[in-house]
Structure 1
Amino acid sequence: MTGTRENPARRWSRLQGVDLLAAALGHPSYAGRVALVSSFGTESAVLLHMVAALEPATPVLFIDTLKHFPQTLAHRDLLVRRLGLRDVRSVRPAEAVLARVDSAGLLHREDADWCCHLRKSEPLGQALESFAAWITGRKRFQGGLRTDLATAELEASSGRLKLNPLAGWSEQEVEGYRVRHDLPAHPLQARGYRSVGCMPCTRAVGAGEASRAGRWPGIDKTECGIHLPGAPS
């Protein structure tokens, strides 16, 4: 893939936030070929604001699993208008696949990993095929597999550059940025949802719980799969 020989992941490993985004969005090998993948969740406004300030035409990929809270969809629409995002694309699972495998919409109860693959990983993998790099909102404080997250990395399977500009930010720094720039909070944040995913697989968290403790409650699962090795390809 263009630009991978010089290994920008290594060169940009000490950059973060706006500096990392500016380096990638303005680089000759990546300009116009970078997508921001956003859940429009509780912390998404910060990264969307940074990208909009640098290049509002940057494609934003929203994985519409068809299982989102209505508050998330309303938050998405508000941020798109407020930030002037020019190219927001909904990435959805194939209707034919859902009709064949999950016609009742209850696959998440039987096999959450397979549900995430069909509704998230597979559609995103297809949507990213035309991009040389993508931006994520993952952070180390979220724990689990994200604890040692690098700010820039190359996907082994595709050679695609993967940027995590907020990897080293704390939860307080993220919220501080949101407040400082007067960005709207996700409607569910005030109700104890510190991380928001699909409606059937997300709950509010209590005092002292980790920010992502409300994701896939009751089962041994901490990631949807789009950030696991080999996905998306």
Structure 2
Amino acid sequence: MKKFLLIITLFTFSITFAQHSGEELKASVVNSADDSALANVHVLNLNQVIGTVSDDNGDFIIPARVNDTLYFSYIGFKSIKVRVTNDMLKFQNTKVGLTELALALEEVVVRPFQLTGYLEIDSKNLPINQAARYSISGLNVGYEAGSRNPNAFSKIMGSIFNPADFLHNLFGKKPAQMRKLRKMQDDDKIRNLLSEKYDRETLMALLQVDKQEIQEILINCNYSDSFIETANDLQILDAISNCYEEYKVLNRGN
């Protein structure tokens, strides 16, 4: 009889474990001020690099394991990270509250361009993006040389012949983070989110790098100031990914 009870207990435990270990999290997102549901909140599992969005009721389902970190992002609300716990997977009814940001209008500076109506004159007075871009056959990537670096082309050629120095300090110390790039690019929900953002916050959370490191990567890959300042987060992601693919080519065999 005791043996039978032991078998039943182990069987019940195995079913319970299977239900909560393989692992989908069902939860909802609400406005912490009034508990109202928030639709279209982007939820990213930073560990598994998987994204989803909340529905009209604020509900979402996402693959998750214990200790995975979920990143919640929604326009007008403060982004947060939440660590997945056993209880969250067991009870599947967790509510995650987001706090609304105070709206602040930034000062807009309008630069006066004195237009005369004559194309030949007006075209000389308008600012022009001077960024040039070079490509090297065989690498299938380009190099953008902005005003920051007028000797970018010679730097690029130098890097080809000195692969140990090119990008190694940027990517060589972050192999785990950089391996996430392909998964990020393949997830449509992540791509859609990044295409709407310009603050680099989601990229920093996914890649576990800070804004300064992102800027250094782009500078060392010879992207111009104008690109770094105006590109959306998806364009930045693709630029970093191209840079990393180039690093792997140059570093092959080392």
Q: TM-score, normalised by structure 2?
A: 0.21
Query: Which structure has the highest strand share of the two?
Result: 2
Q: TM-score, normalised by structure 1?
A: 0.22
Query: Which structure has the highest helix share of the two?
Result: 2
* Structure exhibiting the larger radius of gyration computed from Cα positions: 2
Q: Larger relative contact order (C-alpha < 8 A, sep ≥ 6)? A: 1
